[in-house]
Structure 1
Amino acid sequence: MPEKPIFRLRGIGVDYQTPAGTVTGVDDVTIDIPARGITVLAGPSGSGKSTLLRTLGLFEQPVRGTISFQGTETGKLRHRDRRALRRHHLGLVFQNPTDNLLGYLSVADNLRAAAESAGTECLPDDILDQLGLGGTGSWRISALSGGQQQRLAFGCTLARRSTVVLADEPTSQLDEASADRVLDTLKYLAGQDFAVIVASHDDRLIELGSRVARMHKGRLEKVEEREVVP
């Protein structure tokens, strides 16, 4: 029996109010997101992929359509319940590495703070070893490279024991070598049975996707199912 999707979107639309009038960021998107593997929201700048990712992360409220997470329609949740769902299940990694971390805390304390925010505990050294960051626990965030900071941001999702990892253009601010290590981290997370959802136009990242949702001008053009070779 097929596994139930972790997200089920039906006719999703997101609008923005600007001085020039209403702008539609996402329009009539219907898609199921699997509970495992890497789903890539792909498309050029302005295609709506980042807006859709923020909507999945419950940072944007759709004005049309419905989103269900693990069978629960999120639009019917109270604000505090949506916040709790985000805190306990959804880990969002932004494209600028420093936006994901607390600069006044050490590397290990960032992981502890992430765990505490979700009401759980973690073993920082174990997480750092898993992500190739062993020995950096006492370092300041500024001592890490951009790629290391981004990997630590994904480590925070491990510390929170998130169900879903959402990442917005996680390689766009990195050099090629650092981006390669982030790609390895995404593959690692997918192998740990996370639902990894990434918005990107990076061809190498798109190649990692077991499902690729192609977007253009706010609409979903097609969904490609792939068998990814480890």
Structure 2
Amino acid sequence: MDYPTPAGTVTGLHDVTIAVPRSGITVFAGPSGSGKSTLLRVLGLFERPARGTLRFDGTDTGPLRHPARRALRRDHLGLVFQNPPENLLDYLNVADNLRAAAQSARRRCEPEEILSRLGLAGTGSWHISALSGGQQQRLAFGCALARGSSVILADEPTSQLDEVSADLVLETLRYLAEHGFAVLVASHDDRLIELGTRIARLRDGRLEGVE
């Protein structure tokens, strides 16, 4: 990835080659500025790589026009941001957030079934502000489930949370991995890194190794 700056072009990622498995938790770990969030945006089809090839389930995404890339994101990918309120519609209650997520992917969902799976049973009529930060992040992952996403990407999902709230997110990630989802996470949270089934370590935009 190349970014123009007043001092010239800066390359955010250099020669990163990685294959992401269809299930489990892949963690992109590294210090701030290492390129992990940039890599997540590329894998989520929000940015195009300046060079190289990105394949999704065997399909080269490079030649795809914007509508086709948007359709891939809608039908297969769910993104969870690090700030919980950014993931949700605060004018809708909990259940209606799930319904809206499903509708955006032209699907239907059963909110209470999803809420029960994520330890949020009984909160369907609650306002978003009544949820803790950890519960809001759980609901954000629930919205990805409501959309039918097979791949869920999360950018620093615990960085804005206290330890108790972060525990809820870790439990949710563990649940998703155990139920066959591919979860891609950018994080420098040691507990989240320990949870990963694969760890890709980045520094200065380069892939140092995969564990």
Q: Which TM-score applies when normalising by structure 1?
A: 0.91
Instruction: Say if 2:63 is the partner of 1:79.
Output: no
CA shift for structure 1 position 80: 0.3
Partner SS, residue 12 of structure 2:
strand
* TM-superposed deviation, 1:20: 2.2
The root-mean-square deviation of aligned C-alpha atoms, in Å, is: 0.6
Matches of 1:141 and 1:74, distance apart in 2? 35
Question: Could you say which residue in structure 2 is the equivalent of 1:197?
Answer: 184
1:207 positional shift: 0.5
Tell me the residue number matched to 2:85. 98
State which of 152, 159, 166 in structure 2 corresponds to 1:179. 166
1:212 aligned residue: 199
Distance 2:118 2:205 in 1: 34
Bigger strand share: 1
CA deviation string 1:108-133 (max 9, x = no partner): 00000000000111000010111111
1:144 alignment counterpart: 131
Determine helix, strand or coil for the equivalent of 1:65. coil
Q: Secondary structure at the match of 1:135?
A: coil
Taking the aligned partners of 2:48 and 2:65, their CA distance within structure 1 comes to 12
Residue number among 52, 57, 69 corresponding to 2:39 in the alignment: 52
Q: Deviations over 1:30-71 (max 9, x none)?
A: 011100110000000000000000100111111010000000
* SS of residue paired to 2:106: coil
Indicate whether 1:63 and 2:82 are aligned: no
CA distance in 1, matches of 2:193, 2:51: 28
Match of 2:155 among 147, 153, 168: 168
Q: For residues 132 and 5 of structure 2, what CA distance do their matches in structure 1 show? A: 37
User: What is the aligned partner in structure 2 of residue 5 from structure 1?
Assistant: none
Letter in 2 for 1:62: P
Partner of 1:129: 116
Structure-2 separation of matches of 1:23 and 1:139? 45
Number of corresponding residues: 211
Deviation string 1:126-168 (CA, Å, 9 cap, x unpaired) is 1011111111111111111111100000000110110100000
Q: Which has the higher contact order (CA 8 A, sep 6+)?
A: 2
Q: Is structure 2 residue 153 aligned with structure 1 residue 158?
A: no
Segments of structure 1 that go 5 or more residues without pairing to the other structure are: 1-13, 225-230
1:103 shift after superposition = 0.7
Cα distance in 1, alignment partners of residues 4 and 95 from structure 2: 41
C-alpha distance in 1, partners of 2:187/2:174?
A: 15
Aligned to 1:10: none
Give the unaligned 5+ runs of structure 2: none
Among 2, 7, 10, which residue is 1:23 paired with? Answer: 10
**Structure 1 stretches of 4+ moved >6 Å:** none
Identity %: 75
Query: What is the SS of the residue equivalent to 1:121?
Result: coil
